[in-house]
Amino acid sequence: MAAVRALPALAAALLLAAAGQASKYSREANEGLAAADGKRREAGEFRVVRLNQVWEKAQRLHLSAVKLAELHSDLKIQEKDELSWKKLKAEGLDEDGEKEAKLRRNLNVIMTKYGMNGKKDSQLVDTNYIKDGTESDTLDDPRLEKLWSKAKTSGKFSDEELDKLWREFKHHKEKIREYNILLETVSRTEDIHKNVINPSEENLVKEEILHNKHRELKEKLRSINQGFERLRKVSHQGYDTTSEFEEPRVIDLWDMAKSANFTEKELESFREELKHFEAKIEKHHHYQKQLEISHQKLKHVEGTGDKDHLNRNKEKYAMLQEKTKELGYKVKKHLQDLSSRISQGLQHNEL
């Protein structure tokens, strides 16, 4: 009987020991993750030196949590492209330097987008998902400001639809900024080219690069014009309830796909892929919102002095940060692939 009575006590002791061991393993796992993260930071966030320099510079700026995650995704795409280019260069497949020039141009766009190009007028696009931001932000274009003002006072839009429309306006503003950055780069290259007295084979190669840049400018301008017409139509008529897509980037892609040289079957397949892409973007938006909430909560908890609560919030914030970066990269890579396919279709139209 004494042995029977001793069983519950023994079981309880074993459970306590197991719980202690589990806690130890959990702690060790977390410490292991922290050590691995520390090693990664020590080695550099990226495999390209200049991208690490950009990332380190960004850490010193007062960027929001969401903006930092977005920058990380942009730099991961840049890293992928630069490593691919290094491989091509080693195989002698970028003799004209066109791909290298495009990489420099893309990095310039990133630096300008996040206010790291040294220009005082360089502004960041607000992606704070907690506050509305629509009153304090400007669209930097009188036509867009006028359309937005009319849409807000028209009574045609619910609050949710106004938020959606505002995202479209901000997306359009970004497209114009990227176009202007590219235009400035092309103009500088042309000025240098005009000052060359003796034409050579190298200069003929540069002419080809300029031609490709002009084609890229033409595609961006076409997208801007299509986008403005859409904004004008939506602002005056309201949203069409039968509209297939809601995300501005997806709407852009679909409008351009319809102008490209796709067969009916290819267009239908592209439409289905865009639906999956839009779902991926929505998931990314969800994590961006959660990251912003977590960041604000973390700042609040830091002032309370509760270490356990602070550690829990730090863990959650780190998890959301990594997930947001990962999804951001996937969205941008998918967008890059889809845009490339449309670009090929549009070029085929011009032949």
The per-residue pLDDT for range 305-350, each reduced to its tens digit, is 788 899 999 999 999 999 999 999 999 999 999 998 888 776 655 5
pTM greater than 0.85 (yes/no): no
Is 268 in the same domain as 312? yes
Is 150 in the same domain as 214? yes
Is 224 in the same domain as 304? no
Whether residue 8 lies inside any domain: the answer is no
Whether residue 263 lies inside any domain: the answer is yes
Q: How high is the pLDDT of residue 269?
A: 94
Q: What whole-number distance in Å separates Cα of residue 130 and Cα of residue 290?
A: 10
Report the domain count for the chain: 3
Is 163 in the same domain as 226? yes
Q: How high is the pLDDT of residue 342?
A: 87
Domain that holds residue 95: 45-116
| pLDDT tens across the length of the chain (351 residues) | 444 454 455 545 544 555 455 444 445 544 454 454 555 555 689 999 999 999 999 989 888 999 999 999 999 999 999 999 999 888 888 777 778 888 888 898 888 888 887 765 444 444 444 444 444 468 888 999 999 999 999 988 999 889 889 989 998 998 898 888 878 777 766 555 555 545 554 555 556 566 667 777 888 888 898 889 989 988 988 887 777 888 989 988 998 898 888 999 999 999 999 999 999 999 999 999 999 999 999 988 888 878 889 999 999 999 999 999 999 999 999 999 999 888 877 665 555
Both tokens assigned to 308: 């356990």
Instruction: Mark which of 64, 82, 116 sits at the end of a domain.
Output: 116
Whether residue 13 lies inside any domain: the answer is no
Is 230 in the same domain as 302? no
Is 90 in the same domain as 154? no
Note the pLDDT tens digit of each residue in 180-223: 887 877 776 655 555 554 555 455 555 656 666 777 788 888 88
Of the candidates 128, 124, 99, 127, the residue with the CA atom closest to the CA atom of residue 112: 124
Is 205 in the same domain as 174? yes
Whether residue 270 lies inside any domain: the answer is yes
Instruction: Mark which of 84, 116, 148 sits at the end of a domain.
Output: 116
Whether residue 308 lies inside any domain: the answer is yes
Output phi, psi for 87, to 5 deg: -65, -45
Q: How high is the pLDDT of residue 199?
A: 53
Contacts of 91 (CB under 8 A, 6+ apart): none
Q: How high is the pLDDT of residue 63?
A: 87
SS (H, E, C) the chain: CHHHHHHHHHHHHHHHHHHHHHHHHHHHHHHHHHHHHHHHHHHCCCCCHHHHHHHHHHHCCCCCHHHHHHHHHHHHHHHHHHHHHHHHHHCCCCCCCHHHHHHHHHHHHHHHHCCCCCCCCCCCCCCCCCCCCCCCCCCCCHHHHHHHHHHHHCCCCCHHHHHHHHHHHHHHHHHHHHHHHHHHHHHHHHHHHHCCCCCCHHHHHHHHHHHHHHHHHHHHHHHHHHHHHHHHHHHHHCCCCCCCCCCHHHHHHHHHHHHCCCCHHHHHHHHHHHHHHHHHHHHHHHHHHHHHHHHHHHHHHHCCCCHHHHHHHHHHHHHHHHHHHHHHHHHHHHHHHHHHHHHHHHHHHHC
Q: Where residue 207 sits, what CATH number does that domain have?
A: 1.20.81
Q: How high is the pLDDT of residue 22?
A: 47
Q: Where residue 301 sits, what CATH number does that domain have?
A: 1.20.81.10
Is 237 in the same domain as 248? no
Is 273 in the same domain as 317? yes
Q: How high is the pLDDT of residue 132?
A: 42
Instruction: Mark which of 172, 206, 241 sits at the end of a domain.
Output: 241
